[in-house]
Amino acid sequence: MGIPVTIVSGFLGSGKTTLINQVLAASNLPKEEIIIIENEFGETGIDHELLLHTKEQVLQLNNGCMCCSLRGDLINTLESIEDVTREWRITVSQIIIETTGIADPQPIIQTLLTAPTLHNRYYIDSILTVVDTHHIMDYLKEPLIMKQIAIADRMFLSVKEEADKERLPEIGRLLYSINPLADQLEFYKDQAVMATEFFNLNKFQAPVLIEEEHREHAEEHHHDDHGHEHHEHEHHHDHDDTHGFQSLLLETDKVLNKALLVRWLDWLVFSNQERLYRFKGMVTLKDQELAMALQGVNQQINFQLTTLPAGMTKIVLIGKELNVEKIERTFERLCTASNQ
């Protein structure tokens, strides 16, 4: 598969560097096999001074933001890593990309997925977002922070004060309403984070499984769910505090036609550009005994056969200001057309 890449995002001061330091200290991986690509906004970086300086290699990208003006540098850096490690006969087991606090991780993901020279060399293991629970209610007004939360595979809830710990259930429900695909772990500055909670999670490509406990978690916080007699259920998760960010669950027990599904997905992506950040699901297709995992980021759509038996189709969409009614209506048409 190549070398796993873990992307760490989070707003300024959330605790990204502390998290990485804790994981490096706890990891059994040789430090020289871990490469950190760090991005700072400005001429000179600051956070790298706080990183452990043992044997890990820190590659710093300055003079701009990695997700926009430095996207070319990211490609060149990853290509150079392979050249240098081959020449020096260095084994690389893990790459960490620590984004600047004001970076949108989505273009970074797009670069790793679409750059031809990187496709077979590296793969995204997981997207981790550090959330500052002390300031989260203020930060929710910032679209960029909401985007970092919406795109995550796992959220580390940084707890800095006792009062924040008491508010964790409320904060957890709110974050779930924005991104039900990501799990949540508490994170304390003075408590070690296990390396197994950070490395080799394989969450980015993992099939999404909407468990009943997750549904109950969502319905505890939202009361606008509705169903249809023919067992298609669309759940719209929204909240005043989320400023237009939302998640939408589409379900059906009907078998789908893959060609029609692809056409619907093309329409979905095209008509919701800049608003649909990510979607993921398990789909049941005609003439398939096994379920198919569905993954989408930006314009990229990927199907992957699983070893799970075919069952309910469940697709989770995460975005901002989506036309929920139209999406639900067209999904119902897709289900009907697939069975005519």
pLDDT beyond 80 at 171: yes
What residue spans define the domains of the chain?
3-197, 212-338
% residues pLDDT > 90 (the chain):
45
* Whether pLDDT at 153 is above 70: yes
User: Residue 229: pLDDT above 60?
Assistant: no
Confidence of residue 107 (pLDDT cuts 50, 70, 90): confident
Largest separation between any pair of C-alpha atoms in the chain: 64
pLDDT band with cut points at 50, 70 and 90 for residue 273: confident
Which sign, positive or negative, has the C-alpha torsion 189, 194, 198, 203?
A: negative
Instruction: Assess contact for 212 and 227: CB atoms under 8 A.
Output: no
pTM attached to this predicted model: 0.85
The mean pLDDT of the chain is 83
pLDDT(127) > 70: yes
Is residue 274 predicted with pLDDT exceeding 50? yes
Is the model's pLDDT at 299 over the cut of 90? no
Q: pLDDT-based confidence at 10, cuts 50/70/90?
A: very high
Amino acid 303 reads F
Which CATH code fits 212-338?
A: 3.30.1220.10
List the structure tokens of 241: 């505090």
Residues 6, 27: Cα–Cα separation, whole Å: 14
Predicted confidence at residue 242, as pLDDT, reads 66
Cα of 166 vs its chain's centroid, Å: 26
- At 68, which amino acid appears? C
Give pLDDT, residue 223. 32
**CATH among 3.40.50.300, 3.40.50.10440, 3.40.50.2300, 3.30.1300.10 for 3-197:** 3.40.50.300
Residue 336 CB partners (closer than 8 Å, separation 6+): none
Give the pLDDT score at 123. Answer: 94
Counting Cα atoms < 13 Å in the Cβ hemisphere of 323 gives 13
Region 288-308 average pLDDT: 90
